[in-house]
Structure 1
Amino acid sequence: MIDLQIRAATADEAEAVLAFWRESAEGTSVSDDVPGVTRLVERDPEALLLALADGRIVGSVIAGWDGWRASLYRLAVLPAYRRRGISTALLRAAEERFAALGGRRADAMVLEANGTGRMLWAAAGYEREEQWRRWVKPLA
């Protein structure tokens, strides 16, 4: 059994989080930089949840709450630590956070090409909604 700690990230961990995502997460984001991670943590100090084992980041999820919607992003686990219940523990912590804040439903952002991710979300009880599509517009 793995000795796992789930806790919120701190702003000074931005570089380590970015290095973890480069190794563990599918896809990239326009916010994949130190200022982006730092802004997230400063705006909502409980949003970026980390799983730590053996003194290193082995998992993450962003549990964003805007007062209306509960949104999940960047669920990732270090490849060498997968299939040990880390994503389940991260999702449990995120869902507990949302419930405590009054959330009624959690939405997950999942890359269409991420087959492993889609299977993980389905196994966690999440269902794909065919009637919704994401519309985006770059601001910079």
Structure 2
Amino acid sequence: MTAMNDLSIRSATAADLDEVLAFWKTAAEGTSISDDSDGVARLVARDADALILAEVDGVLVGTVIAGFDGWRCHLYRLAVHPGRRRRGVGSALLAAAEERFTALGGRRADAMVLDRNASAHHAWRAGGYGPEPQWSRWVKHLSG
């Protein structure tokens, strides 16, 4: 089991994008139409801190996209390597995303969570997120 002090969290750079795309094929549950080099490059070019990476000894073990449009906070692509799940990686990524949102003035975060990805629902609930009945998204109200 990896100790949390071995985990480093940082923003992605353009040099990380191929590795991130390959990682999502292994760790993310399904793919998106925007899961390509151009789409992810646009994200990083527009908001350099939105794509957050978790690494252990320089090896990518998790990602989350923490987008902020100036009004609302949005979470996408929380993905943890299957061999690293249930060790705090996802929680550390969500904490980093929430820290970013709070610093930007965000007050509420919503997450895109696949209904069919039942194994992820535990992680989101553990992070304080839950489905809103009137929406097909999960939200968490941030302090502030």
TM-score range (shorter-chain normalised) is over 0.9
1:113 has 2:112 as partner = no
Deviation at 1:133, TM superposition (A): 3.6
Please, which of 37, 47, 50 is the counterpart of residue 50 of structure 2?
A: 47
Please, which of 17, 22, 27 is the counterpart of residue 25 of structure 2?
A: 22
CA distance in 2, matches of 1:48, 1:68: 18
1:127 has 2:130 as partner = yes
Please, which of 100, 103, 108 is the counterpart of residue 103 of structure 2?
A: 100
CA distance in 2, matches of 1:5, 1:128: 29
Deviation at 1:38, TM superposition (A): 0.6
Q: Does the Cα contact within 8 Å between 1:27 and 1:111 map onto a contact in 2? A: no
The residue aligned with 1:79 is 82
- Give RMSD over aligned pairs: 1.1
* % identity of equivalent residues: 63
Structure 1 gaps, min length 5: 135-140
How many residues align? The count is: 134
Give structure 1 regions of 4+ aligned residues with deviation exceeding 6 angstroms.
none
Please, which of 72, 75, 86 is the counterpart of residue 69 of structure 1?
A: 72
TM-score under structure 2 length normalisation: 0.90
CA distance in 2, matches of 1:115, 1:34: 28
1:60 has 2:73 as partner = no
Question: 1:2-25, CA deviations, whole angstroms, 9 ceiling, x for partnerless residues?
Answer: 501100000121110001100000
TM-score under structure 1 length normalisation: 0.92
Deviation at 1:84, TM superposition (A): 1.1
CA distance in 1, matches of 2:80, 2:14: 20
AA matched with 1:37: V
Deviation at 1:118, TM superposition (A): 1.3
Q: Does the Cα contact within 8 Å between 1:48 and 1:62 map onto a contact in 2? A: yes
Question: 1:11-42, CA deviations, whole angstroms, 9 ceiling, x for partnerless residues?
Answer: 12111000110000011111111111111000
The residue aligned with 1:11 is 14
More strand by share: 2
